[in-house]
Amino acid sequence: RRTYSHLRRPDSERPSFGIAFDIDGVILRGRTPIGGSPQALRRLYDADGFLKVPFLFLTNGGGVPETKRALELSELLKVQISALQVVQGHSPFRRLVSRFENELIVAIGKGEPAAVMLEYGFKKVLSIDDYASYFNDIDPLSQYKSWGLKQSYERNYNSEGLQPKYDVYSERVKGAFVVSDPVDWGRDIQVLCDILRCGGLPGKENGHQPPLFFAADDLEYQAVFPSERLGMGAFRIALESIYNSINSRPLEYTSFGKPNPFVFKNAESILTKLVTNMCQVKETMKGEKCGLDTIYMIGDNPKVDINGANKVGHPWFSILTRTGVFRDKNNHEQYPADLVVDTVEEAIDFILKKEC
Ligand code: G3P
Ligand code: MG
């Protein structure tokens, strides 16, 4: 059941359009579907559950491997979704595997950041929780935190005392990856400053700053609370501002995620793969082009979703919903969408009327 079988109907025609859905503020708020998203998505499948319209989720969020997120989304939205259809902010990190494959790296953020990186093929990964637990007193405020580091301590201590998985006291951290929204900003900023200032060995001699990667740069996003919440971009500003105040060389980093054009180009090539899966195999072998004439980006964040799709241009067509970050009556002034609608359901109505 959890295979790609729903992607291919043997006699299906080549689809001419595809859809990329933002998740937070369009499809879900927290874990609750919004804007009629389950009904809207169901219209993209035929009566037997085969995909009629190639679509994927293009989110700046994350924190769990794509395989797990696909299962979660399938359950919440009551349609079958494969891992190929889930592109998260951190998905492009997998392209960095060859550079860091056997190096010690630290993964930061909510959920299971280390599991994400291990699934991509990185071999020596520690979550920042585990990493911090090996250094006594690295967080002078930990005793005041009710949540503490209980789990990490339990995992890493046994009758013989502290058992680091790797020799963190002499092996340098070669890369830091902010996979998802950091949980304990104070501790994470402190430990990241330690790692980055000292060339990967907290409390030891100086060295060059190891590379730092952010999965996305969203300043704010729509979660369950009525007004927007601070996102990874806000954390980046806090870290950068503090780091640059205590260090003579400015922080160096790379941010992934929307609105970077390569994210949209990558989504385009995944949708093309989906089309190849859905096309008659014979047609594909004859060399028929499986490219799409139009790809709809349905998002709630003008600066991120709409700006990104507009920057790439053809074949992207941007649709802005009023269920998340954007709520205005008129189009956004700085990043106007090709179409503004109330909900994702209304967006699907428009697309299917236009295309079918
Ligand atoms: O943390 C999630 C947030 O950055 C945005 O997610 O789905 O709106 O791109 P999304
Ligand atoms: Mg969003």
Q: What mean pLDDT, rounded, does the chain reach?
A: 92
pLDDT at 1: 41
How far apart (Å, rounded) are the C-alpha atoms in residues 181 and 199? 24
pLDDT at 2: 47
The closest-lying atom of ligand 1 relative to the alpha carbon of residue 257 is: 9
Could you tell me the distance, in angstroms and rounded to a whole number, from the CA of residue 25 to the centre of ligand 1?
Answer: 8
Q: What is the pLDDT of residues 91-131, one digit of tens each?
A: 999 999 999 989 999 999 999 999 999 999 999 999 999 99
Could you tell me the distance, in angstroms and rounded to a whole number, from the CA of residue 240 to the centre of ligand 1?
Answer: 21
Contacts 24+ apart (CB under 8 A), 292-295: 292/15, 292/16, 292/17, 292/18, 292/54, 292/268, 293/16, 293/17, 294/16, 294/17, 294/18, 294/355, 295/17, 295/18, 295/19, 295/20, 295/267, 295/268, 295/271
pLDDT band at 161 (very low <50, low <70, confident <90, very high): low
Range picked from 64-68, 152-156, 283-287 for highest mean pLDDT: 64-68
Q: What is the mean pLDDT of residues 3-30?
A: 83
Q: What is the pLDDT of residues 60-85, one digit of tens each?
A: 999 999 999 999 999 999 999 999 99
Question: Which residues surround ligand 1 with Cβ inside 6 Å?
Answer: 22-25, 59-61, 181, 216, 218, 221, 231-232, 301
Neighbours of ion ligand 2 (CB under 5 A): 22, 24-25, 300-301
Could you tell me the distance, in angstroms and rounded to a whole number, from the CA of residue 132 to the centre of ligand 1?
Answer: 27
> Whose C-alpha lies nearest to ligand 1, atom 8?
24
Q: Is the dihedral of CA 313, 314, 316, 317 positive or negative?
A: positive
Could you tell me the distance, in angstroms and rounded to a whole number, from the CA of residue 316 to the centre of ligand 2?
Answer: 17
Could you tell me the distance, in angstroms and rounded to a whole number, from the CA of residue 171 to the centre of ligand 1?
Answer: 34
The closest-lying atom of ligand 1 relative to the alpha carbon of residue 181 is: 1
Measured CA angle at 95 (ends 93, 101), to 5 deg:
85
Record the tokens describing residue 302, joined without a space: 């003008």
Judge if ipTM > 0.90: yes
In order of their start, the domains of the chain are 5-88+258-355 (3.40.50.1000), 91-255 (3.40.50.1000)
pLDDT at 343: 98
pLDDT at 278: 81
- pLDDT-above-70 percentage for the chain: 89
Which of 59, 256, 298, 318 to mutate to test ligand 1, by most ligand atoms within 8 A of the CB atom? 59
Could you tell me the distance, in angstroms and rounded to a whole number, from the CA of residue 149 to the centre of ligand 1?
Answer: 27
Q: What is the pLDDT of residues 27-55, one digit of tens each?
A: 999 999 999 999 999 999 999 999 999 99
pLDDT at 205: 74
The closest-lying atom of ligand 1 relative to the alpha carbon of residue 304 is: 9
pLDDT at 264: 98
The better pLDDT of the pair 159, 132 is held by 132
> Whose C-alpha lies nearest to ligand 1, atom 3?
61
